Amino acid sequence: MLTTETRDRLIEAALAARQWAYVPYSSYAVGAALLTASGRIYEGMNIENAAYPMTICAERVAVFKAISEGERQFQAIAVVTSNGGSPCGACRQVLAEFGLDTVVLIADGEGHLVWETSVAELLPGAFTPSDLDK
């Protein structure tokens, strides 16, 4: 269970990260802030490309930054967009890899929490590492 302070801190971090979004094509800036089990926060923002499919979402930037630093367990991720948009399917799958219980905080451009959910709720029937034969 996240405290109000933790929620606010994560949303603030996502709002701050959003300013660095590189979105010359869509103008749809997204900021994310991922809280790991160790207590660190990794920020991400979406980065577009003239070759559109090369674009990467804010959530995956945050997750990949955390993974590259040795983190594997996440508590929560905050995602901020102008209109409170929710994570895309690709990001839901990437988050599911590291735990279905990760809390997902979705906030608007003013930092108002519009939906508090979880990876499990966002991706029912997720394909996870346990589905692979060891």
Which residues, 6+ apart, have CB-to-CB distance to 14 below 8 Å?
31, 32, 33, 43, 58, 78, 79, 80, 107
Residue 91 within binding range of Zn ion, rule CB under 5 A: yes
Residue 88 within binding range of Zn ion, rule CB under 5 A: yes
Comparing CB distances to Zn ion, the nearer of 37 and 88 is 88
- Candidate list 5, 12, 59, 69, residue with the active-site label: 59
In whole angstroms, how close is the CB of 4 to Zn ion at the nearest point?
A: 27
70, HSE (Cβ side, Cα atoms, 13 Å): 1
Stretch that binds Zn ion, among 18-26, 28-36, 53-61, 72-80 (CB under 5 A): 53-61
Comparing CB distances to Zn ion, the nearer of 8 and 84 is 84
Tokens of residue 58, six digits: 């804010």
Residue 57 within binding range of Zn ion, rule CB under 5 A: yes
121 is catalytic: no
The SS3 call for residue 13 is helix
Comparing CB distances to Zn ion, the nearer of 38 and 115 is 115
* Active site (catalytic) residues: 59
